[in-house]
Each structure stands twice: as structure tokens, then as C-alpha cells.
Chain A
């Protein structure tokens, strides 16, 4: 009996073209688009600034700076100031008087965070050139001091170590996008699952099954199994998209699964149970499939927004990060990030998995009780 019910459910969902699009195609497209679009936002490398330099000083110092900037791949030195995002000017006597500031003119559309990044990167060249100049001066009377100055590291990478919420590695855009949209996509089972469930309820197929001695538990269990399978297929397809497809677009970094495959299966199964719990509750309480689709869609977007799918949790303000701690999507996303970034094994994600399973099972139990009440009332 159980195998027949599982087979029936699989047939129904596999014949629903819209559901398949929502479950498989939509998240895959999101992963590619968001990985490529967000690539530069998650990288301190390869940020490109277009600039034009006006040199009123024309000294060996400013010439050295310009030469350095020219070979730095973060800067694109333009021949005219018309299209430049930044125009920098070395005032006269810049070399002579170290208190004279470099002037920067910025296009109106440039945001403040980009200006700060530009200043930080340009500072490296300004300091390097100053130190090199000082080193040359010291060379004659203190070769050791000159050597020390030459070797002095002034790049931001040598001065700072950035930790993103304690993660060992800074996530790149693919590492952020793949788990985020896997989690989001998995919760899209809400739509086909609740729609099929409500149709069965409305068309009396559920009461017919009840009249055939099929228990509420058997109904719920057999409806859950196909979606556990579908969610697993989704997860591995999305991981495949991150590993193989995303790098084909504009040299976007590929996804690296640093953790164990077992951990991926554990956290994704737990996420599935949570998603199935929500879907079943919506299916039991909604009065029509249109209502279920609307409620399911809103639920998905809200949980995604709170849980760090839309906006990465580590750039949220602290108050929002606290709220994210209560979102099932947030638990799932944390689990995946642990696996992809901190090389987590199953034992390291068991906490997040337990929360998801407890959440999902609670909703399933509530749904079964409500369904029994509905059946007793003649649906």
C-alpha cells in the first residue's frame, strides 16, 4: 500500500510542469544569476576602479605612483577624465610637502563604500611610493633602515585578517548563492505539495482513501517520502550547477564542497522535513489551492528574507541577525555554510538539523490532528 501511494504522489508531481519549473529550473537560474551578479560584492579582489590622474607635481614620487597604479589590475587608468569614476590630482609640491592631500573627484553615482575601498587601495600605492622614496634617501647612511623600509608591507591584506562571523573562509558569491537558493528552492515544494493535497481533499479522494482504511499517518508519511526524494534531487542538481555551470559565466568562482557529503544529506533531509511540515499545515488549513499557493509564496519569501537568503546574514544588523536565528531557512543556510566554508562533517551540523527536524515534525503532528478533525467533520 505504501509503495502505491508513494508512486502515485511521484507521478502526480512529475506530471505537474509548473511545479517542476518552480522546483528545479527557477532555483538553478537564481543561483547562476545571483552568483554572477554578486561576484564583486563578495570579493576584495578584482574590484575595478576607472580613474584618471592629473599630475601637477610631476616628480619622481608621483611618476612612481602612476606606474604602480598602471600595473594594478584593480585600477583601469583612462586617458580622459570623461568616463572615469574617480579623478585624482597630485597638487604641486605634493612630493615636497607630505601634508598636502591628494584630491579625489568622484562621480555622483559612486556609493560611499566604493569610495572607501578606492581610498584604501590607492593608499597602498601612495604609502609604498613614499616609503620607497625614504628608503632611497636612507640608503647612503643606513642601508639596514633602507632595507627595512623597502620590505615594509603596506597592503590591507598584510595588515588585517577579516573573519566573517567566525567563518574560516570568506564566502565567495557562489558559496553564498548556492546554499541560499538551495534552501529557498527546497521550500518551493510548498506549492505542489499543498496543491495536490488540497485537490485530493476537495475532490474527495482523501475521504475515499480514508474509507479504504488508509490512516492519516499513512497518508502523511507517503506524501512526505516523494518530497524527501525530490528535495535531495534538487540539492544535488543545485550543487552541480554551482560546481560546473556557474564558473562558465564570466569567470565566476565555482562552488567548493569543503565538508562531508553526509553532512549535506543530513542538513538537506532536515530541511526537507521542515518544508514538508509547513506544506502539510498549509494544505490542511487552506480552503483552496489558490489560497495555498498565495500563503505558501508569502511564507517562502518571508522566511527567505528573515533567514538570510535574500540578504546574507553576516551583513545584516545585529537585531536582524537575532531574528534570523528563529528562521528555519536560517538554520538550513547556517548548516550549508558550515559545510561549504568550515569543512563541517555531520556532527557539526547536527544542531541545526535537530532544530529543523523538531520544527518539521511538530507541524506534521499538528497537521495530522487538524486533518483528522476535518475528516470527522466530513472534510
Chain B
């Protein structure tokens, strides 16, 4: 478990985190929501030992961040928003370098390559990879030390829909491997798809923390969201798309929507009734809807 108590971090006069407390369960996929400047990246940087806190307590799997930072770094990994590898090196040279730095085992190395489907790209120079392939390499580097917890800082920025879904699916797999995932994203539907629990922070303070289920079912709504397997045909069907793989409809229109999908051989993954979506809830909670 990750336990954060009364965490405060200031940059000059500005409070990036203000007495923040929250708990993240082991093995969960935890979503961290907040507008730009809410303190998400600062929180991840502190949890990963990159930035020092001003006050508060952080305990990660029983290790104190104040006294056991080195041990915490060895069991955790951050996947930064920006591509943090060497463009002039090949995929293999990048992985070899970061593996040697972290003394990664051969098994962990192969797992990181396999999970991210980089096997056929090993000889390719990193600068020549596609956006999605670069993101996968960025993630693979973070898996080399076989971490117990991975922090994803908006890992799908600038990624095409197909690659984004591949990345999200791979993150779901980490849960199966028992890895705790802390995930921040601007795309709320991503959080909806992969997270078990969500914390909303605003101006460095915790506004709400709950399971995704509770956050979404607390709202009475006629809305129905239908999640499907990605298909190129989707955009031409005249449906209301919330994103590349989620359709927004109503309970009255659901039957017709499902029929249309079936006719076009588009597989349905999930149907969520009577819910609001996370974006609406987030805007309500943070007061952004007032504007």
C-alpha cells in the first residue's frame, strides 16, 4: 500500500501540494485526475523520489520515503510524459543501457520487450519509430527493474487511437502481474477504462477519492456508454462518440445502437447504464463547469 499523509510541497510562494492525504491499494490501477497545475506531476515526482517534499509522510510498501528513498526507487518506476530515452540510439541500445543501469535480470528484460511488442524493432534507431512505438519503448524502459509500482504521467499524449488502446490494454495486464499502477491522464475516458479507483485533486488538495464504480453510479442519468473494440468504420456510422472506442447513447436508443454495431461487425466490450461519465463528474466536482 502507498500511504500519503499531510503532504505539502511549495515552489517559492506557490503551494503545489497542500496537506494532501490519500491511500493507494496494492495491485490496483489508481487514477489521478486534476487540471493542469493541480499538482499531479509534483505528486508523482515526490513518490518516485525525484523531488523532495517540504512536510508530510509517505510510506510505499512499508518503506519510508524520508529514510529509504534509494530502496523505494529500486521498486518503483516512472513513465514520464515526455519520451525519456535516447533518440540517437537503437531500441536495443536504449534497453541495454537502462537495463544495465538498473541491473535488470534477463527475464525482466525479455518481459519488458515482450509486453510492449518491441521484439521486431530492436535494431531500429529510436528516432525512426512511430509515435506509438516510441511510447511503448518509453514504457518498456520503466518495466526493466520489475517494479512493484509504476507511475504513468500522461503516457498517451500525442499517440494515435490504435496505439493508445494497445497501451491501455498493456496497462490492464500489469494489474494481472500484481503491479500497482498510478495513472494520470488528460483523457478521462482512459481513466474510466483502466482504473479501479480515482482521486481528484485541485490546487494541490484532495477533492475526492473513491472507486470508479461509486464515482460514476452516484449520478442519476439516462445516459448509456457503450465501449467497443476499435474499428475504422465507427466514425462513419453517425453515432455519438465520446472517444475512439466509446459511444454515448440513451436507454431508448441503446437497442438501435447495438444493432448498428452488430451489422458492422463491431464487437462490444462493455455497456454502462445509468451513469454519468467521469468528465462530467470531474467538471462538477472541481467547479470547472461553472465557467
Contacts and interface: CB of A to CB of B under 8 A. Distances in A.
Nearest to A12: B88
A8 interface: yes
Contacts of A377: 11, 51
Interface in B237-285: none
B2 interface: no
Contacts of B103: 1
A166 interface: no
B102 A212 contact: yes
B59 to A, nearest CB: 18
Interface string B37-72: 000011001001111100000000000000000100
Nearest to A209: B101
B89 A8 contact: yes
B187 interface: no
A207 B84 contact: yes
Interface in A306-322: none
Contact-residue bracket for chain B? 20 to 34
B73 A213 contact: yes
A191 to B, nearest CB: 16
Nearest to B49: A211
Contact of B88 (A7, A11, A202, A210): A11
Interface string A141-184: 00000000000000000000000000000000000000000000
Nearest to A1: B101
A28 to B, nearest CB: 25
Nearest to A15: B88
B190 to A, nearest CB: 21
Nearest to B99: A4
Judged by DSSP, the binding face of A is: helix
Nearest to B11: A377
A214 interface: yes
Contacts of B11: 377
B85 interface: yes
A376 interface: yes
B131 interface: no
Contacts of B73: 211-213
B6 to A, nearest CB: 20
Given A210-B50, A213-B74, A8 B86 contact: yes
Contacts of B8: none
Given A203-B83, A377-B11, A378-B51, A211 B88 contact: no
A354 to B, nearest CB: 34
Interface in B11-59: 11, 41-42, 45, 48-52
Nearest to B79: A208
A3 B42 CA distance: 32
A210 B78 CA distance: 11
Contacts of A210: 50
A34 interface: no
A4 B101 contact: yes
29 contacts: A1-B100, A1-B101, A3-B100, A4-B97, A4-B101, A5-B101, A8-B89, A8-B93, A203-B85, A207-B45, A207-B80, A208-B80, A208-B84, A209-B101, A210-B50, A211-B50, A211-B76, A211-B77, A211-B78, A212-B98, A212-B101, A213-B74, A214-B101, A375-B51, A376-B51, A376-B52, A377-B51, A378-B41, A378-B50
A105 interface: no
Interface string A1-24: 101110110011001100000000
A77 B82 CA distance: 74
Contacts of A213: 70, 73-74
Contacts of B45: 207, 378
B202 interface: no
Interface in A31-84: none
Interface string A206-237: 01111111100000000000000000000000
Contacts of B100: 1, 3-4
B137 interface: no
Contacts of A209: 101
Given A213-B70, A376-B52, A208 B141 contact: yes
Contacts of B81: 204
A319 to B, nearest CB: 45
Shortest beta-carbon contacts, A-B, top 4 = A4-B100, A204-B84, A208-B84, A204-B80
Nearest to A4: B100
Contacts of A15: 88
Nearest to A210: B50
A205 interface: yes
B86 to A, nearest CB: 6
B145 interface: yes
Given A16-B88, A211-B77, A212-B102, 5 more contacts: A4-B101, A12-B89, A207-B80, A213-B74, A377-B51
A205 B84 contact: yes
A203 B88 contact: no
Contacts of A203: 82-85
B74 A211 contact: no
A208 B82 CA distance: 11
A208 B48 CA distance: 10
A86 B52 CA distance: 78
A165 B1 CA distance: 74
A2 to B, nearest CB: 10
Nearest to B70: A213
Interface string A283-322: 0000000000000000000000000000000000000000
Contacts of B80: 204, 207-208
**Residue picked from B42, B50, B52, B77, most chain A C-beta under 10 Å:** B50
Given A208-B78, A212-B98, A212-B101, A11 B93 contact: yes
